[in-house]
Amino acid sequence: MNWISDWALPKIQTLFGSKRDVPENLWHKCPSCEQMIFHRDLERGLHVCPHCGHHLRIGALRRLDYTLDAGWQRIELPKAPLDPLRFRDQRRYVDRLKEAQAKTGLDEAVVVAHGTIEGKGAVVAAFDFNFLAGSMSAGVGEALVAAARLAVLQDAPLIIFSASGGARMQEGAISLMQMPRTIIASRMVKEAGLPFITVLCDPTTGGVTASFAMLGDVQIAEPKALIGFAGARVIEQTVREKLPEGFQRAEYLLEHGILDMVVRRGEMKATLARLISLLRERLPPGLEVEEADLPMPPPPDIAAPKPQARPVAVARTAPAENPANGD
């Protein structure tokens, strides 16, 4: 008989109370600075590390909560074939889909919703990287086409938050065909005269980068987001050169003209609302816009030197014969 476990421990628990259940996931570790963050502080900071400012990856539903005003609504997305190729590697593709659906609570890697951003109507599509790395499948293509049609129907701008590893290999060429489909969807919005805004989150790579993600009227990225087509190691092996520091990061792409702006998550909602106002709201009648005081271009005669006339070659003719010579 162990008297410590059978007698002493129950007496101590009776005096001081039984062990309380401590919830899990109270603390989160920042993947950048490796500091521990209390879960309430993380929620309050929109999942941005308070120590180093690193933007942690978030799911699609949380992204919509951070972007849209309260009361936004999801739309039901068209159904696509689950396993058109009956693909199987180490596991069946259907089993991977079911696991991803149970893990995220989503049917596909993207969620489409409509609502308002600071009172301004918008249609927003958000990728979830936790769903098979946010890969683009036939279902994702159907979702983005449906989002474009809804934006045209509601006369509202379309905003897409991308976070994807590219096309979904389990669907082969079918997933690659979603690249032109999403490009056509973006054209639908632009031809209707509506703003198409893309927000590139960490990471945005592969076929998503090579299609709609780089076609926005305004292209935004979160700080330090990884953006590119192929991986840096593959590029280095191909070109046989050392890549610059920070290559394929949002700040590097902003410096080289690929992006329009890099916006922190806490400022994203206000920035999107301001962009919608600039691109959608018309000036009040009677309000004249003053022309910028720019220097007038010089007159055409002094703007560029006149081309000099090329010398004309004169053909020389032989002297006529003198008939007086009698030759």
Strands 196-204 and 36-38: unpaired
Q: Which amino acid is at 69?
A: D
Task: Note whether 160 and 198 are within 8 A (CB).
Answer: yes
Cβ within 8 Å of residue 322, ≥6 positions away: none
Distance (Å, whole) CA 150 – CA 156: 8
Distance CA 141, CA 173 (A): 13
73 strand-pairing partners: 114
Question: Which residues are CB-neighbours of 277 under 8 A, at least 6 positions away?
Answer: 120
33 annotated to bind ligand = yes
Report d(CA 138, CA 84) in Å as an integer: 9
Rounded CA separation 138/108 (Å): 10
Closest C-alpha to 200, from 52, 17, 55, 4 = 55
> How does DSSP assign 189-225, residue by residue?
HHHTT--EEEEEEEEE-HHHHTTGGG--SEEEE-TT-
| 49 among annotated binding-site residues | yes
- The residue type found at 299 is P
- DSSP one-letter code for 8: I
Is 52 annotated for ligand binding?
yes
Ligand-binding annotation for 201, yes or no, is: no
Q: In angstroms, how far is the first alpha carbon of the chain from the final one?
A: 154
**What are the DSSP E strand ranges found in 222-262?**
261-262
- Distance separating alpha carbons of residues 68 and 276, to the nearest angstrom: 13
As a whole number of angstroms, the distance between CA 318 and CA 78 comes to 90
Binding-site entries for Zn(2+): 30, 33, 49, 52
Binding-site entries: 30, 33, 49, 52
